[in-house]
Structure 1
Amino acid sequence: MRDIGLVCVADALVGASFGAIAVSGGLAAWVPVVMSLVVFAGGAQFAAVAVVLSGGSPAAAVAAGLVLNARHLPFGFAVADVLGERWRTRLLGAHLLIDESVAFAMGQRDTRQRRAAFWACGIALFVVWNAAVVLGAMAGGSIGDTDALGLDAAFPAVLLALVLPALRDRRTREASLAGVVIAVASTPFLPAGLPVLLALAGLLIPRRGGPATRIRARIRTRTRIREEEVR
């Protein structure tokens, strides 16, 4: 509960920044509030609002949010046993399924403790996040320049925090770097929001150490062994 409380404090600051940035950027105050209640996914919310505020279409904003939240599919498999058997409980649990609630649930070994950690974290963060967004949206109307307060850094900071753990994998790092290059190179020529989606092409780069590479390595190894035997 102490750790969950610390996470709630951190998320409250991010939620307030989200509400303030959205309103000061020109969106109506109800937009970030309703989005937080219905979507409840900080990374996807930041991505969608960033696309809209930069001039992108709502379709591109939704697509960016969906791509970012695709990680929730394996999350659902990982904590399916925690949500119980009733469809109502599973539906509510799916709405509270976020990075933090999954992380706290997976950190417990006992099923009962996993369930308690998931629901405690999910419910606490839902309440704190939405309250903070409301406060940020109310303050956003009176803030003339969010850049002066450094709130504009919340967009890249949240997304970077979500990405960093995955960059331990070399394949992911290579795909991410290729995606960055593609997005930056296409930004001057495409509407806002599309370069980010086009960055997914980074996943198509050839994988080092793939099946073909391993087969060639085995052939070279066997060839060397045979040459040594002949000698």
Structure 2
Amino acid sequence: MAEQTAHPATGQIRDDTPTGPAEGPRAAGTGGARRSDSAVVRDALGVGVAVGLSGFAFGVTSAGAGLTLLQTCALSLLVFTGASQFALVGALAGGGNPFTAAAGAFFLGTRNAFYGLRLSQLLALPGFAKPFAAQWVIDETTAVALAQPDRRSARLGFTATGLTLYVLWNLTTLLGALGAEALGDTAAWGLDAAGPAVFLALLAPMLKTTTERATAGIAVLLGLGLLPVLPAGVPVLVSALAAPAVLWFRGRRARKEETVR
């Protein structure tokens, strides 16, 4: 609200309406108030701990698929993307060809390249840091970084989430693989289902639109329908055709609606 007062010396009326921001500092280009570092770190730790503990399931599943302790830990250290890791060991466990299993895991991991394009603009990291940061470009770090109102908070959220998740994921992978070796036959304990269960738990919250749900549904039908007739690992590759099929159908439907109008 505008405030007007009389100058004590001249008696002239002056406008005392504040011209600057009435609240705290604003994030450039976002219009949102800057969050405290403790709030950003708290959210990052929550995500990192919750997902990082799932590495135990991967360690168990990988050991059950026949991978050695070294191979299991190397996957978490070097690949570090849960969906691709579960897809790889799942295909190998089903007797799939290693090249086919690797191809399926690769296609699942390509989404991280698109995340990297967005995060590169948002974080604007120096050149020497980008190769190291690229290792942490996954679903969770991207989500936390994009949720922040300014660049400083985004960098902090990305770093805290990536560090927490990387350390916990690799630690629990090691513990899961060692535990599986101690248990012996993981299938007898029902632990062979841990991998697919965690994979679905990570995937489900991402399906927010009708198009995404339709794509996931068609992919599931293709994968399950072709599972008895195709070699292990191949149904995963075929199910990837669900995305272009849904996009083609949507484009055709949109063109028909435009023609009617």
TM-aligned CA deviation for residue 208 of structure 1: 4.1
Structure 1 pair 58–90 and aligned structure 2 pair: CA distance change class (3 A) = same
Match of 1:215 in 2: 258
Give TM-score, length-normalised by structure 1: 0.85
Q: In the alignment, which of 119, 125, 140 is matched to residue 84 of structure 1?
A: 125
Contact 1:83 1:89 survives alignment (8 Å):
no
User: What is the alpha-carbon distance in structure 1 between the residues aligned to residue 130 and residue 124 of structure 2?
Assistant: 5
The match for 1:94 among 113, 134, 143 is: 134
Q: Structure 2 counterpart of 1:215, which letter?
A: E
SS of equivalent to 1:207: helix
Structure 2 residue aligned with 1:116: 156
Q: Deviation per CA, 1:140-178, whole angstroms, max 9, x where unpaired?
A: 111134345553333222322343234322222223222
8 A contact 1:21–1:152 mirrored in 2: yes
Deviations along 1:196-218, one digit per CA (max 9) or x if unpaired, are 11112223255247332212431
Aligned mates of 2:201, 2:124 — CA distance in 1: 26
Task: Specify the alignment match of 1:226 in structure 2.
Answer: none
Q: Which runs of 5+ in 1 are unaligned?
A: 219-231
- 1:14 touches 1:154 (CA, 8 Å); kept in 2? no
* Greater gyration radius: 2
State the Cα deviation string for residues 48-107 of structure 1 (Å, max 9, x = none). Answer: 010111101111111111111121122112211315131x31111110111111111111
1:14 to 54, 59, 67: 54
Aligned equivalent of 1:182, options 217, 222, 227: 222
Secondary structure, aligned partner of 1:178: helix
**TM-score of the two chains, using structure 2 as the length reference:** 0.76
Distance 1:26 1:6 in 2: 32
Report % sequence identity.
Answer: 36
The residue identity in structure 2 corresponding to 1:135 is L
Query: Matched residues in 2 for 1:107 and 1:199: separation?
Result: 31
In 1, are the aligned partners of 2:65 and 2:90 still within 8 Å (CA)? no
- The 8 Å contact of residues 171 and 207 in structure 1, kept in 2 or not, is answered as no
Name the SS of the counterpart of 1:56 in structure 2: coil
Q: Which shifted more, 62-71 or 27-36?
A: 62-71
Find 2:64's aligned residue among 24, 30, 33. 24
May I ask how many residue pairs the two structures share in their alignment?
217
In structure 2, list runs of 5 or more residues that go unmatched: 1-40
> Given residue 174 of structure 2, which amino acid in structure 1 is its aligned partner?
V
Q: Secondary structure at the match of 1:141?
A: helix
127-136 or 178-187, which deviates more: 178-187
Distance in 2 (alpha carbons) for counterparts of 1:110 and 1:171: 30
